[in-house]
Structure 1
Amino acid sequence: MSKTDMNIFEKYESEVRSYCRGFPTVFSKAKGYKMWDEDGKEYIDFFSGAGALNYGHNDDHMQDKLVEYIKSDGPTHTLDMATTEKANFLTKFNDVILKPRDLDYKIMFPGPTGTNTVESALKLARKVTGRTDVISFTNGFHGMTIGSLSVTGNAMKRKGAGIPLNNTVTMPYDNFVDESMDTLEYLERFLEDNGSGVDLPAAMILETVQGEGGINAARMEWLKKVDEICKKWDILLIIDDVQAGVGRTGTFFSFEPAGIKPDIVCLSKSLSGYGLPFAITLFRPDLDIWAPGEHNGTFRGFNHAFITASAALDYWKDEQFEKGIKQKSAKVKDFLVGLTEKYPELQGTFCGRGLMVGIECAKEGLADEVAAEAFNRGLIMETSGPKSEVFKLFPPLNIDDEGLQKGFDIIEESVKALVSEPVTN
């Protein structure tokens, strides 16, 4: 078999492509926590499709169910018509995820991507409250369509909109300035003061751990206080769990440890379990004031995603699965903290929560260099933050200890190649 000419992508594909620039090879196979390129080189995947592959590549259980369904001539595309597989997913999601967590939500299929669920959440919040503005937070990222961009902090991505992004107010996220500043006291002062220029918003939207913004993890006390402020002022709380949800931070929903129940929750990425496009918007039943067809999308009835999403929920029937995520999270944190201590030239600080973690490097450009060196040595990971100052680890939730250790070894080798010898006792 002839190998793919890399010039094809340069010749025919738009300059907007990005990930292929950081991972310059042609992949041809993927399984579990591994990927292979056309040369047969093996890579450990600590990228997981930017959080869309929490169960790794081509999971056997999901794959078997999907192939069986396809071979049975089950319908693929059905808009929002009723199908057996949609009914199975709705029932299973309620039984396995919502009911055990004492959550009562209606489920909406807004379209297949993360930005689709965010757009529907913003639209619903404005429709329910009759208000226009939405409060978002510094370094937040919520998607690439106009509404989602309006509540996104990244200046480069906002500029891509090409028009002014209005009807949003940005407030400081937890520890945006420093630990001594109570950012929510600042926020509430704006709500209280009629001279602040901030109108009462329809909603606040946030990620409990900011993925693209630098793996910033909000403290549980801060999240609880946000929830209290929203209740006090009759503001809807939207949690964007597109990247941080589906187990990535240790629990199915990232907000569970805070003990809060958001009004609206956005899910996508790993919801399908298999990397298939799939998103849902969850909201309190009393907020379900949509008129039929008032918000729709051609590909919201993607039955292949219903199949794999239902199969993925089988993991969550076993309490050991969630315990396993927490155990692996502890190992990853110990490794990263140890790395910052062993290699002080990293000027590194551990950040994140669960298996959504990384090291923030004070030296400009160093995180990018570590990620590039790791790729050359056979590990895929990306950077995040306003200046790409964090190299982040997103291993599959079901990765084994051997896979973790292989990844750790490559990361340490990469760091060692870029800084001086480690500190030894």
Structure 2
Amino acid sequence: MTKDMAQNTSIYNRRESEARSYCRNMKATFTQARGSELFDVDGNRYIDFLAGCSSLNYGHNDPDMKAALMDHIAGDGIAHGLDFHTDAKGAFLKAFEESILAPRGMDYKVMMTGPTGTNAVEAAIKLARKVTGRRNVIAFTNGFHGMTMGALALTGNASKRGGAGTGSLSDVTHMPFEGSLGEDIDTLELIDAMLSNPSSGIDAPAAFVFEPIQGEGGLNAASDAWMQGIEKIARKHGALLIVDDIQSGCGRAGTYFSFESAKIEPDMITQAKSLSGFGLPFAALLIKPEHDIWKPAEHNGTFRGNTHAFVTARVAMEKFWSDDQFEKAIAGKAVVLTTALNDIAGLVEGASLKGRGLMQGIDVGSGDLAAAICARAYDLGLVIETSGANDEVIKYLAPLTTSPEIMREGFDILAQATSDVTNEMKMAAE
């Protein structure tokens, strides 16, 4: 470790909260980033297979977004606008309508929430309760929806829930996600039976909330049939359908929205992470017009609508989603990813693939093993993380724009790391 790095580590240890996490295992001080590459203070290069936990689907410092933002700032464009009308917001809404909503035949109001995904989730469950007059919300095992109290109540992870400092995370019923009880259990049938039984003890729900692909929960991907089944159950029981597309959206699953192939019509859709296109804080809630019954300022926030993010998000819409070329490129890369991960999974006995699109990973069956592989990969110059109930899944979240050459280089590093760790384990066992 260089003197500069030691000094920097010292200030973090001395002054930064114990809540910090990623930097505990990846100790480099990063100074620059381009595309799918990170560079640290000593000039070391890392391939980024994390992409801000899918907040950088279009890579670091996209040149077109950067140029538009620099022009906006240099021209004294609005930096903070509350929810005033601004040229930047108007241009974003027009681009979102023309590139995303209209081509898909979708009619939604766009609500600017506070700048993080958890705020969009909070807004969704508040509105569902306001629309239906009910309190209970159905969430799912292994789901992750955010760290504020309402969103945390929807979240299944015990360690995350423990951070609330209270045993009261109420008004949520957790039901089994598809496949969580084994292949022989029809979770749709079970959920409907529980809600149809007036003596089940489950209050009539205001909404169902689910992730089409559970990012933090281990890349459990819902089938089209299951998503359609949940929509049907929600309609049957008078509940709204909320899709949390924060991590799996913006192209990560292969299409802009990760539920498109199921042809469902959610009442609300949460958006954040890569919505800005540039890694800037920006979250929104898409609402069916008939449910947009908010009174003015009934859910507001000082930073609702990030004007700089409007600028970069507009470029992202126009550059990547004005036609189907980007979507086709994602599909091609997804095939490459599946092939590469299959090869790497073959190095670990019993390992299997999870997820779909460019949101896939390898379940190695052990959190310790997954952590060791990711740590070795980091030493070799690859940034990648784990997910799952026991952190047993090595998760690929590289920018969607990653070149085939860099993808292959990253796969080679991951294969080397997996081979190194498994060989060490075999030697230790002999």
TM above 0.5, one fold? Answer: yes
- Show the counterpart of 1:329: 334
Deviation (angstroms), 1:29: 0.5
Q: Secondary structure at the match of 1:125?
A: helix
Deviations for 1:389-423, whole angstroms, at most 9, x for unmatched residues?
011001111111101001011000101101249xx
Is the contact between residue 81 and residue 301 of structure 1 (CA under 8 Å) also seen in structure 2? no
After TM superposition, the structure 1 = structure 2 runs for residues 67-86 of structure 1, keeping only pairs within 5 Å, are 67-86=70-89
C-alpha distance in structure 1 between counterparts of 2:367 and 2:16, whole Å = 30
Q: Secondary structure at the match of 2:57?
A: coil
Report the residue type matching 1:140 in the other structure: G
Among candidates 198, 212, 215, match of residue 211 of structure 1: 215
TM-score where L is the length of structure 1: 0.97
Q: Secondary structure at the match of 2:4?
A: coil
Q: Identity across aligned pairs (percent)? A: 48
C-alpha distance in structure 2 between counterparts of 1:275 and 1:364, whole Å = 28
After TM superposition, the structure 1 = structure 2 runs for residues 276-291 of structure 1, keeping only pairs within 5 Å, are 276-291=280-295
Among candidates 88, 93, 96, match of residue 93 of structure 1: 96
- 2:392 is equivalent to residue 389 of structure 1: yes
- 2:41 is equivalent to residue 50 of structure 1: no
Is the contact between residue 367 and residue 393 of structure 2 (CA under 8 Å) also seen in structure 1? no
Unaligned runs of 5+ in 1: none
Among candidates 13, 17, 28, match of residue 14 of structure 1: 17
Deviations for 1:96-153, whole angstroms, at most 9, x for unmatched residues?
1001001100110011100010000000000000000000000000000000000000
Is the contact between residue 358 and residue 392 of structure 1 (CA under 8 Å) also seen in structure 2? yes
- 2:133 is equivalent to residue 145 of structure 1: no
Report the residue type matching 1:309 in the other structure: A
Runs of 4 or more above 4 Å deviation = none
- 2:272 is equivalent to residue 271 of structure 1: no
C-alpha distance in structure 2 between counterparts of 1:419 and 1:348, whole Å = 12
After TM superposition, the structure 1 = structure 2 runs for residues 14-413 of structure 1, keeping only pairs within 5 Å, are 14-163=17-166, 164-314=168-318, 315-341=320-346, 343-345=347-349, 347-413=350-416
Unaligned runs of 5+ in 2: 425-430
Total equivalences in the alignment: 419
C-alpha distance in structure 1 between counterparts of 2:146 and 2:304, whole Å = 17
- Show the counterpart of 2:427: none
- Show the counterpart of 1:418: 421
Is the contact between residue 113 and residue 305 of structure 2 (CA under 8 Å) also seen in structure 1? no
C-alpha distance in structure 1 between counterparts of 2:351 and 2:331, whole Å = 23
Q: Secondary structure at the match of 2:39?
A: strand
C-alpha distance in structure 2 between counterparts of 1:153 and 1:254, whole Å = 21
Deviations for 1:362-400, whole angstroms, at most 9, x for unmatched residues?
244110011000000000000001111011001111111
Is the contact between residue 146 and residue 165 of structure 1 (CA under 8 Å) also seen in structure 2? yes
Report the residue type matching 2:41 in the other structure: E
Report the residue type matching 1:235 in the other structure: A
TM-score where L is the length of structure 2: 0.96
Is the contact between residue 53 and residue 270 of structure 1 (CA under 8 Å) also seen in structure 2? yes
C-alpha distance in structure 2 between counterparts of 1:168 and 1:204, whole Å = 10
